[in-house]
A and B are shown apart, each in its own frame.
Chain A
């Protein structure tokens, strides 16, 4: 799903999030669907505040996990997946 570079993803309304030690269980009431997010995906979802662009999310993620560079490709994949599933807009 192509998104402009300036896109600042924001978590969709109506998500019910249950946190466990290894990630999130997210219930999407509108579509009556349940999503299981690992810790990396959970962190990305938390960063979808509407104030962070994709590259900024990747930079934070790289710092959080002590990576040598920002994992932009991986973050893009996660964001595309979130967008397809309606978790972000």
Chain B
């Protein structure tokens, strides 16, 4: 079995070729099929070959990685691709958040590790939402763009996602640390479009775990949302003041909510209701028509 795939990960075009059946058969773990509205500025090619008892990976013709495990090769390819994208996005806000839209209204879902972001975003795919990412967005001023990657679902999450479980046998996977199976899913697996482009969020949901309990949505003060998002974001390459300003730019234009995560179905319904009540981004305009994102309060 041989495979050769070329795909886009934001500003990077990635080509992977291999004649190793163990890699070729699961290459979709790293391949991104999303239609992306972002200019490519770098191209990188990988060749994976057998070597003795393991695999040899070349990057643009140079030896880059060796490992005896197909799982490790796939995981390291995945990490490497993202490291390149992070490098291209150096100096931009990186926020751990899912990203999607409902009836044209873009939203983010942030929250601590393990709260169920990926599970929620996968569920929303089947609840009438357009979901672009499950893990990270990059700040582009007032807009964000999702990191294109298949949604990573741990095996127990499939119990909560019957539509994904129904196709799980044909989804790519790796065995993660601790031997846990991680299934990689994207909207095209459900026959739905998967598109990623820049947009301004009108709502930010901060997820709090309440597994087994009641699902509720509460308005969240913007100050508190910035505080929470700081714990879920990185801003490499620039001073912290710029990082806070970047977060503030997003938070100012969005309605902010705390979503206490009980069951997924109710979470989806509450998000629909909340987004239906949310208006478009609000930026004031100065008299000359130039937008003023800061709206400074002046009292003297």
Q: Say what secondary structure dominates the interface of chain B.
A: helix
Closest beta carbon of chain B to A49's beta carbon, Å: 6
Interface size on A, as a range, is: 20 to 34
Let me know if B226 and A18 touch, CB within 8 A: yes
Q: Are B297 and A46 in contact, CB atoms less than 8 angstroms apart?
A: yes
Complex CA gap A25/B245 in Å reads 9
A19:B223 contact, CB within 8 angstroms: no
Verify B299–A25 contact, CB threshold 8 A.
Answer: no
With a 10 A CB-CB cut-off, give which of A19, A20, A21 has the most chain B CB atoms: A20
Q: Does A77 contact B (CB under 8 A)?
A: no
Interchain CB contact under 8 A, A46 and B298 = yes
B244 touches A34 (CB 8 A): yes
Is A83 an interface residue, CB under 8 A from the partner? Answer: no
* Contact status B226-A19, CB under 8 Å: no
Q: Interface size on B (CB < 8 Å)?
A: 24
Whether the Cβ atoms of A21 and B252 lie closer than 8 Å is yes
State whether A25 touches B244 (Cβ < 8 A). Answer: yes
A37 to B295, CA, bound (A): 17
Contact of B223 among A36, A47, A60, A64 (CB under 8 A): A36
Name B294's closest neighbour in chain A (CB-CB): A19
A residues contacting B by CB (< 8 A) are: 16, 18-23, 25, 27, 29, 32, 34, 36-38, 42-43, 46-47, 49, 51-52, 60, 64
Given contacts A18-B226, A25-B247, 19 further A-B contacts (CB under 8 A): A16-B242, A16-B245, A18-B244, A19-B296, A20-B222, A20-B251, A21-B252, A23-B222, A25-B244, A29-B240, A29-B241, A42-B297, A43-B297, A43-B299, A46-B297, A46-B300, A47-B300, A60-B299, A64-B299
